[in-house]
Chains A and B, each alone.
Chain A
């Protein structure tokens, strides 16, 4: 571990990239949190409860994937909550308790939500409106349209098939958990192993360089926001299936956690850093946290205080871990100027 950086040591460092370590640590923290809970309250922690925690994490796991792609570009998507609600409302409104309607209702729902995402992307990419404002404005407007169309009242029942999807099991494992697994693998591959995914990293870490290289920045930006709309619509449909109905504000509680999940997972809000395993870990962590806190018999105020505090502590640990990793890398490779360290620390 001294200055004699043998190839073997280098290999171990590169095999466990800092992003992966962050993700594993966050997952470890989640397990630790559950164990502490188990120690405090022995009735907690049955297999059923853990399955329930994982099942309810699917909404955040799916929604934060889109958020992660957008943040990877250095943007932000504030429309996720509204799009989730709209996705749920459309699927509930169109199917209205019938399974036959699903065949065309799902494409309609997904396409409408992608359209909202594309509007976001077009505004950001071509009109150069800051993502913060563009997505907020589109969310506000889309909410208005949804409110107008539904008159704020209709709460129909979702197709039973969608409800069964959220509650059924295949050989003892709840389907949502299997879906999470598939989504994690598919999402990770798309983000980290495809050319288009790597281009997002390139754009996010250095826009000017990406432009010089000739990457299709506008097209990829629009695509990332479109993906975010897609993920939010899927999350919304699953949420509607889980709660067997939809309301216009059911997605709102997921907006801020979707950002927090991405950041806890090791991404930088300025873009170019982070992977989906991290975001996934962040999403599971936050979902588990909010479920566990509900188990505690505390008032809402104290639950909020604990939840906020744990988010801050998680971030602190994560940052410390990055710092240690950086130090280790510098010692091993002799690279990494103090200036870079400073700029990374203070520019974020």
Chain B
């Protein structure tokens, strides 16, 4: 019965996506930022902002998939560290270093993701704890590859990926658009729908014939590739390798997902929200810097804005609840857990 009501609510019109509210918040913050820093609305300023956003955005896009499947993953910083030092050590040395190192980091991400997925789906380990283990291992591997910050990223990666194409479109923006487009296509596929189903109710999904374990394995693998890509893009930004990616980055990845309206309990939300969440967190830091807030206040405001952003998302849930079906809560893409 609940199912049929959900169906009905979907046909009448989708509930307001909570990412919409995150988007509004972003626009407000961006406007304040550009008033305080007029250079923000030039092409250079926008390119800069997108460059700063993209690593967090891609990493949180990967994490979103895992959270949608009702699992958690801490290994992102580990994979990012490994791929960063890999790019910094091999991209200048191997032939076709740009493509070669890209493939290499994707492979590494895939491998770590498969290990995580196997541990979680087939051995039944708790994802939070076992990905903590793999995260520490990856950080160790990064330190073994490169024991101190250094190395050199191929100039092509550094210059082209942080620049614009045709002198008007930032490459980072292009990559983000591709990620969003890929997500829009992906979430309607069998695999995409299965992720929501598994995240909402694993037992019911199993009984409907969905391969729960396989879905989880593939989700971790896909997220691993996303982290690898994020590490690759991080190398393009920094130009060097640093085996120590800070743990606070990990927390920001989670914050981006949550601010984007993805429920940490699984089954609700989407990648678009997380990309916006990442953009909010990035513009927040720029905004606080532009306004001239003293360093230690930045932290206080960051904390405050995170909570406000979440409350803003809850607001959308309340509004949706009043406007639409009383039985369904808000959901980004219709597959709302009741």
Contact = CB atoms under 8 A, between A and B. Distances in A.
Nearest to B124: A345
Nearest to B311: A127
Contacts of B299: 140-141, 143-145, 147
Contact of A348 (B126, B142, B264, B311): B126
Provide the main secondary structure of the chain B interface: helix
A224 interface: no
A309 B143 CA distance: 15
A319 B124 contact: yes
Contacts of B136: 304-305, 307-308, 311
Given A130-B264, A312-B119, A347-B202, A140 B303 contact: yes
A193 interface: no
Interface string B229-254: 00000000000000100010001001
Interface in A235-264: 252, 255-256, 259-260, 263-264
A345 B255 CA distance: 27
A130 B264 CA distance: 8
Interface stretch (A39-47, A83-91, A295-303): A295-303
Contacts of B298: 144
Contact of A141 (B132, B140, B212, B302): B302
B307 A304 contact: no
Contacts of A147: 295-296, 299
A70 interface: no
Interface in B115-155: 119, 121, 123-130, 132-145, 147
Interface string B22-51: 000000000000000000000000000000
Given A316-B119, A347-B70, A347-B202, A304 B300 contact: no
B310 interface: yes
B306 interface: yes
A263 B304 CA distance: 30
B110 to A, nearest CB: 18
Interface string A135-149: 011111111110110
A259 B264 CA distance: 17
B1 interface: no
A78 interface: yes
Interface in B296-330: 296-304, 306-307, 310-311, 314
A252 B244 CA distance: 15
Contact of A301 (B123, B135, B140, B297): B140
B212 A144 contact: no
B140 A307 contact: yes
Contacts of A339: 203
Contacts of A134: 307, 310
A137 B243 CA distance: 26
B187 to A, nearest CB: 21
A141 B296 contact: no
A311 B295 contact: no
Given A143-B299, A144-B297, A302-B140, A137 B307 contact: yes
B280 interface: no
Given A316-B123, A346-B206, A308 B133 contact: yes
Given A264-B129, A302-B144, A311-B136, A78 B310 contact: no
B175 to A, nearest CB: 27
B147 A301 contact: yes
A133 interface: yes
10 contacts: A133-B310, A136-B303, A141-B302, A148-B300, A300-B140, A307-B140, A308-B137, A308-B138, A311-B133, A312-B119
Interface of A: 78, 123, 127-130, 132-134, 136-145, 147-148, 152, 252, 255-256, 259-260, 263-264, 268-269, 299-309, 311-312, 315-316, 319, 323, 339, 342-343, 345-348
Q: A-B pairs with the 10 shortest C-beta distances?
A: A304-B140, A144-B299, A141-B303, A301-B143, A308-B137, A308-B136, A301-B144, A305-B140, A148-B296, A311-B133
